Amino acid sequence: MKLTSYGRSLHELNILKDQGFEEVILEPKSLSRFGKLSKDEFLALSMRAKELGLRVLLEWDILMTEDVFTAKLKEVNDYVAHADAVRVQDPGAFGWVVRNTDRPLQFIAENGNHNLPALEGWVDLAKGRLERLILSIELSKTAIEGYVQKLKVPCELLGMGRILLFYTPRPLLSALAPEKMTMNGEIAALGESEESPHKGFPIVENAHGTFMFHIKEFCLVDFAHELRQMGLGFFRIDQRWDNQLLAEISGLVKNFDATGFETFKEKYTQDLMRGFYLVNKTDVLFPKLKNSRLQKREGDYIGEVLEAEKGSHLAIMVKNPKGLKKTDLLKILHPKGEIFESKIYSLRNLSLEEVDSVAAGNLAIIQFIGGVWVKSQVFYQ
């Protein structure tokens, strides 16, 4: 398992070199979400990285509407020409790199792509040009292990760094405080909401939009050994907001020691989390989100009680094409789950005439059945 990280200065390139990194991700301001490098800075760093024997990965990870994309195409070749590989997230950039360059492609599949056929699909669409897939941090280790073994290309995973929660192209902070925009076109804030238990979400607005991060950072440093054994290709360390401990983190990833890790956590300014690495259960609450009244209605469903007038009648909207006959035996499911069974003693139509049957799409009025409420579901027994 190799390490990868970002470089924004000559100093950072030197750290990466010293720590045994073989590559560096360079982010031009114009193409990358959090890029800081002007074109000249990019070219200078790219040249220096190559002198140091570091492979240069161009990060082109912004999402682009048609006009933005067209504008970016005017300059992207200047960057591509000085990169050994291109990392993209917009499927448009993916397609363009495959069709218009000879550079190897790395696809940031961090949003969605939580199944093997999707990941294999991107490999196929790249027509042999994909050299790496960057996996989602929402995947569990079981999923990661399976993908790493089955995919034809190496995989990368964020191992340590900020968790991006939200990305919009809209300017949300400058809308509130335009005077706070810095010379380099950025505004930063910390957000908290009374409706969320978490406080202090870092928020950044720049030329590409507004981004919000989790208050805790993602950290799998203590699982690096496990990931290496699984066969993960690349472990990414993202210290773009504070790179002071980059060397220490890479040291721990290479040679993990529990005591050193505890000491590191104490001095690291952010709390850490491992997200869904051990297990992803972000769908277990879904049954509770569903209204039980609505979990219903296959097969013998007749319809719904629209009115329950105590001591008088139930009005049922008949929905089953078979209609409702006076001889039918009913099973009625109360919204709270209680079940009532009954014969029909009186069946009337809307004109209050006694009838033998009521067709689908019509209202049937039967005798009141104690305990049955409006919204109860009616079935044939």
Partner 1 sequence: MTKHQLPEVLAPAGSLDKLKIAVLYGANAVYVGGQKFGLRTAADNFTLDELREGMNFAHERGTQVYVVLNSFLHDKDLEEVPEFVKFLEEIGTDAVIVSDLGVVKTVRAHSKIPVHISTQASTLNSESARIWKEAGATRIVLGREVSVKEAGKIKREVDIEIEMFIHGSMCMAYSGHCVISNFTQGRDSNRGGCAHSCRFEYSLEGLDTPEKKKAYFMSSKDLEGLRVLPAFIEEKIDSLKIEGRMKSHLYAGTMSKVYSEALKYYAEHGDFLSDDLINWEAELSKVSHRTYTEASLVEKAGADSIFNERENASDGEWQMVGSVIDANPKSGIVIEVRNAFNQGDELEIIPFKGPAIKVVANEIMDLAMKAVTRTRPTTLVRLPFVEGVSSMHLVRQRGKA
Q: Which residues 49-68 are close enough to bind partner 1 by CB under 8 A? A: 63-68
Q: The tokens of 355 are what?
A: 């009838």
Taking each helix axis as running N to C, give the angle between helix 39-51 and helix 10-18, from 0 to 180 degrees, rounded to the nearest 10: 30
Beta carbon nearer to partner 1, 165 or 339? 165
Amino acid at 12: E
* Pair 367, 305: CB distance under 8 Å: no
Rg (CA), the chain: 30
Of positions 82, 103, 162, 214, contacts partner 1 by CB under 8 A: 214
Considering the rule CB under 8 A, would residue 6 count as an interface residue with partner 1?
no
Considering the rule CB under 8 A, would residue 279 count as an interface residue with partner 1?
no
Considering the rule CB under 8 A, would residue 8 count as an interface residue with partner 1?
no
Number of neighbours of residue 113 by Cβ within 10 angstroms: 21
> Which helix (H) or strand (E) segment is 16 a member of?
helix 10-18
> Which helix (H) or strand (E) segment is 142 a member of?
helix 141-150
Of positions 39, 362, 367, 368, contacts partner 1 by CB under 8 A: 362
At 210 the three-state DSSP class reads strand
Report the alpha-carbon distance of residue 235 to residue 228 in Å, rounded.
9
Spatial CA neighbour of 121 closest among 87, 153, 145: 153
Beta carbon nearer to partner 1, 241 or 256? 241
* Segment contacting partner 1 by CB under 8 A, of 198-206, 227-235, 253-261, 339-347: 198-206
Binding to partner 1 (CB under 8 A): which residues in 140-159? 143, 146
Of positions 9, 55, 167, 342, contacts partner 1 by CB under 8 A: 167
* Pair 272, 219: CB distance under 8 Å: yes
Beta bridge partners of 198: none
Binding to partner 1 (CB under 8 A): which residues in 225-244? none
Q: The tokens of 180 are what?
A: 């706070």
> Which helix (H) or strand (E) segment is 306 a member of?
strand 301-309
Beta carbon nearer to partner 1, 173 or 344? 173
Q: For the CB of residue 17, give the shortest distance to partner 1 in the complex, in Å.
A: 34
Give the binding-site size for partner 1 (rule: CB under 8 A): 97
Q: The tokens of 166 are what?
A: 């939200």
Considering the rule CB under 8 A, would residue 286 count as an interface residue with partner 1?
yes
Determine how β-strand 377-380 pairs with β-strand 301-309: antiparallel
Amino acid at 379: F
* Pair 64, 96: CB distance under 8 Å: no
Q: For the CB of residue 241, give the shortest distance to partner 1 in the complex, in Å.
A: 14
Of positions 47, 81, 177, 339, contacts partner 1 by CB under 8 A: 177
Considering the rule CB under 8 A, would residue 173 count as an interface residue with partner 1?
yes
Binding to partner 1 (CB under 8 A): which residues in 66-125? 66-69, 90-96, 99, 111-119, 121-122, 125
Binding to partner 1 (CB under 8 A): which residues in 317-346? 317, 319, 321
Binding to partner 1 (CB under 8 A): which residues in 11-50? none
Number of neighbours of residue 250 by Cβ within 10 angstroms: 25
Beta carbon nearer to partner 1, 23 or 131? 131
What is the DSSP code (8-state) at residue 54?
Answer: P
Q: For the CB of residue 264, give the shortest distance to partner 1 in the complex, in Å.
A: 23
Q: For the CB of residue 149, give the shortest distance to partner 1 in the complex, in Å.
A: 13
Binding to partner 1 (CB under 8 A): which residues in 290-309? 290-291, 294, 296-299, 301, 306-307, 309
* Segment contacting partner 1 by CB under 8 A, of 78-86, 197-205, 234-242, 245-253: 197-205
